[in-house]
Structures are given as C-alpha cells and as structure tokens.
Amino acid sequence: MLMPELIGYILTLDALFTWGIASLVYKFSLGKIESKPALLFRLLFVSLSNFLLAIFFGTFSFIPSLSSENLIGYLIACFISGISVTIGDLLYFTSLKKIDVSRAFPLTQLSLVFVYPFAFILFGEELKISILLGGSLIILSAFILSTKDKEKLKEDGPEKINMSSDKILVGVLLAIGSAFLWGLAIVAFNQARVISSDVFVTNFIRVFFGAIFFLIIGIFQNDYYASFSKNNRKIIKYFIYLGIAGSLSLGLADTLFYKAAEINGLVLTSTFTANTPMIQQILSILILKEKFRKRFIFAVVLIIVGNYIILLL
C-alpha cells in the first residue's frame, strides 16, 4: 500500500469516528431541544468555526485567480452542496416524525448508492465490482444494526405496529430523499474541491450558503427562534453542545473526508463511510451503555468481509 493511500484511509477513519461521536451528541441534545432551531444554530455555529478553519488552514487567494467560467461553476457547486445537505437534514428529521429511526437511518445510508452514478458520470471514476460488492455488504450491515428488537416490537403494541401505510410511505420517501440530497451534496462538494483544490474554504462557503438559505426560509416562522427566548435559558447549553458537535462533524470530519477523496477517489472514500453505523454502535455501547445485541457480531463479520473485498480484491 502506498503512503498517500494509507494517509487517505487514516483521514477517512478519523472522519468516521468524528461523525460517530457527533451523532451521540446529536442524539442527546435533540432529546432536549427542537430540531428546527437546533439545525439553525448548528449551521450558524459551523459557519463561524469553518470560517476560522478557512483562515488558518485554507486560502481565499484562489478565488480571484479563477476564470469567470470556473468561478461560476465553483459557486454553483458550493451552493448545490450547501442547499442539498441542509434540505437533506430537514427531510431526515421530518422522516423521524413519521417513522422510527430504525427505519429512517438505514435508508439514509443509500446516499452511497447515489454517489456511485454521480461519481461515474461527472468524474469518470471506475466502479469496480469489488467496491460495489463490499459496499453492498457494509450497507446490509447498517440495516441489520438498525432493526428493532423483538422485545421492543412487543412493547410498542398493535397501535404503533399498525401505523397507517400512508404515514409510513411518506416517512420512507423523506428518508430516501434525504439520502439522495446528501449524495448530491457529497458529489457537488467534490466538484467544487476539484476546481479550488482547497477543502477548508470550500466547506465554509457551502455551509454559509446553507445557513443563509435556512435563515431565509425560517425568518418569518416563530418555531425556528422560539427556543432562544429568555424563558429557555436552561436549554442553551444543549445548543452549544450541538454546535460544537456540528463543527467537528460538518466542519472537521467533512474536511477530512474530502481530503481523503482527493487522495483515494470519491467512490472508494464514500464506500468506507458506510462503516459509520458500526462506529456509532460501538460508541453507543461503550459510552451510552446501550444494550449489546447478538446481531452486532453478524454485522461485524459483514463489515470485515466487505472491507476485505474492497481493499484486497
């Protein structure tokens, strides 16, 4: 294995662990605060932190050196990525109100399925059989990890089990829509990264676009700002927790991911991100002391086999 490839794998692994840790903070904080103001605060907080990262580690000097055509293409790619990831987040949280997270979460892993054709069409990346097969096994493991326990199904009772088919369908479509938009956000960011060769500035610009968009759609809607009133001072700390987690996830981890994509390609790097559910499960068991399930072992085997196929075949 060449040294640059190894560095790419290390960066991807760092991103996976950062996403996994951030997901635990999201899970904890969103149990205390509403999703809309939480997303708004996260975007504003991440925009600020990404701006600082761009100043210290990036360079804005490439912008005036771009031709008019490249500059327009760059800004369009950043805009598409920022809007896509923001709307994708909104759709995901809305889907959680329609269906259980055990159904919604694995569906969002389908973003990988959308990345493959985008990467093939736009960047001419090779779709090897080993990557497709290994990625499929890893995605399957995510579904296995996210299924409900039989005991939990019995506790839910017939009312929850017999949820209206229309509500389920809407929730499923929202989750799939979220996966599509996240996949589009990944590919659009990669296109902007190719033009600029600067992931720090690009990440700031695309998140800033998302924050402005979110402010515009929520400026006349009270539920976006109600949680920031004086009466809710006690929950401000949860917004800060979520903002810090967002800076590490949407800021640092995303940057590491795209640096890895620059080294090992978008297809291979995106495939390895399908390991995130496993990282989340491990951290949930170790940190949140969640129940250890037998299917965890089977999922681990699938992930090991999937990664083996990708790396060695």
**Residue 53 pLDDT exceeds 80:** yes
**Residue 39 pLDDT exceeds 60:** yes
pLDDT in tens, 168-209: 777 778 888 888 898 888 888 888 988 988 889 999 999 999
* Paired tokens of 91: 């759709």
- In the DSSP assignment, the letter for residue 251 is I
For residues 207 and 116, give the distance between their C-alpha atoms in angstroms, rounded to a whole number. 23
* Paired tokens of 128: 């090897």
**Residue 83 pLDDT exceeds 90:** yes
Q: Which amino acid is at 275?
A: N
pTM of the model: 0.76
Residue with the two structure tokens 């296109």: 191
Percentage of the chain modeled with pLDDT above 90: 12
pLDDT in tens, 250-297: 888 888 888 888 887 877 777 777 677 667 667 666 776 666 666 666
* Paired tokens of 75: 């800004």
Please report the pLDDT score of residue 101 as a whole number. 55
For residues 121 and 43, give the distance between their C-alpha atoms in angstroms, rounded to a whole number. 30
For residues 125 and 130, give the distance between their C-alpha atoms in angstroms, rounded to a whole number. 14
Please report the pLDDT score of residue 227 as a whole number. 64
Q: Which residue, 280, 281, 266, 293, is CA-closest to 12?
A: 266
Phi, psi (degrees; rounded to nearest 5) at 293: -115, 145
**Residue 32 pLDDT exceeds 70:** yes
